[in-house]
Amino acid sequence: MLYSNVLNISESNIVLLGVPDESKSKAPRKGAKNGPNQFRKALFSSENFKRSGQLIPICPMKGNVSTKKVFDIGNVRRNNLYPQIAKLISQRKIPIVIGGDHSITNTTINAIKMITKKKINLIYFDAHPDFVTSTKDYYGSVISDSLDYININKSIFVGIRACEPEELYNITKYGANIIDPMDIQEQGAQKILKKITQTCLNNNNNIYISIDLDCLDPAFAPGVSVPTPCGLNPLELTFFIKQILAETKIIGCDIVELSPSFDINNITANFAARLFKEILGSIIL
């Protein structure tokens, strides 16, 4: 079941697409390829009230969706993702990509950079920095594979708490901006938000937000490929995303690593659906 409120791409300003692929993942927990379809099921089951045979959409907490014209093009194969994103950016659409494993981010921002000719300020929510250099072209090397496409010093990584030694070396080498969950506890959400905005939102309209659901603590999001304790809570993540969107336009977004096989009562999928609704409510066109 697709999630569209307009009939075609030309009528839309936001385009939803799924990439049911985890071929670049090395996670022992498999199932992220089923994420896009489960995400759509959650959109209809948890983001609507059902009454008298009708689906009544639930509104976001803040913002509105009345001006957001969404066309869901369905799922695309990984090898078709690059040309599809390039086409959407050329048509000035905002793509929201549902994974699949996190390596789809590299393909997406590569296509955006090719069309816009400008590097991307990346806001990256993840438990892991994905900054491995000893192995290429997989879900743990997203950032090192993307260095030609992003402004590393104007990007920021939020929720990081599980780094390999070589990733710590690369973070220092490239001057990456890292916020771990302890920083949020120590400084508070408002100070962290200020750091994010001061780092990334410098009149560059190539802002891209990437959300690996394992940035959340597995108590709130068990249905992910690589669960890691001591993560963000859902309200923290939603707050950061909505506040960022309220301050700047973005060129695209993704939500990745939903692994339905390990979910419990669909709480991870339902949160992903709620986060998508809150993104729609706050995104600036």
Q: Are 217 and 201 in contact (CB under 8 A)?
A: no
Q: At what angle do helices 104-116 and 78-90 cross, to 10 degrees?
A: 30
**Selected residue with higher pLDDT from 269 and 53:** 269
| Residue 2 belongs to some domain of the structure | no
| Residue 4 belongs to some domain of the structure | no
| Residue 160 belongs to some domain of the structure | yes
Work out the burial of residue 162: count CB atoms within 10 Å of its CB; fewer than 13 is exposed, 13-18 middle, 19 or more buried: middle
| Residue 1 belongs to some domain of the structure | no
Q: What average pLDDT is seen over the chain?
A: 96
Indicate the pLDDT class of residue 55, thresholds 50, 70 and 90: confident
Range of the domain at 272: 9-282
Q: What secondary structure, in 3-state letters, does 104-160 show?
A: HHHHHHHHHHHHHCCCEEEEEECCCCCCCCCCCCCCCCHHHHCCCCECHHHCEEECC
- CATH code (residue 122): 3.40.800.10
Instruction: Locate 22 and state its tokens.
Output: 């985890």
CB-CB neighbours of 26 under 10 Å: 12
| Residue 13 belongs to some domain of the structure | yes
| Residue 128 belongs to some domain of the structure | yes
How many separate domains does the chain show?
1
Indicate the pLDDT class of residue 251, thresholds 50, 70 and 90: very high
Cα separation, 240 vs 211, in Å, equals 11
| Residue 3 belongs to some domain of the structure | no
Condensed to tens digits (0 to 9), the pLDDT of residues 86-143 reads 999 999 999 999 999 999 999 999 999 999 999 999 999 999 999 999 999 999 999 9
User: pTM of the predicted model, to two decimals?
Assistant: 0.97
Cα separation, 139 vs 161, in Å, equals 16
Indicate the pLDDT class of residue 273, thresholds 50, 70 and 90: very high
The DSSP annotation for 31-99 comes to -GGGHHHHHHHHHHHHSEEEETTEEEEPPPSSS--TT--EEEEEE--HHHHHHHHHHHHHTT-EEEEEE
| Residue 57 belongs to some domain of the structure | yes
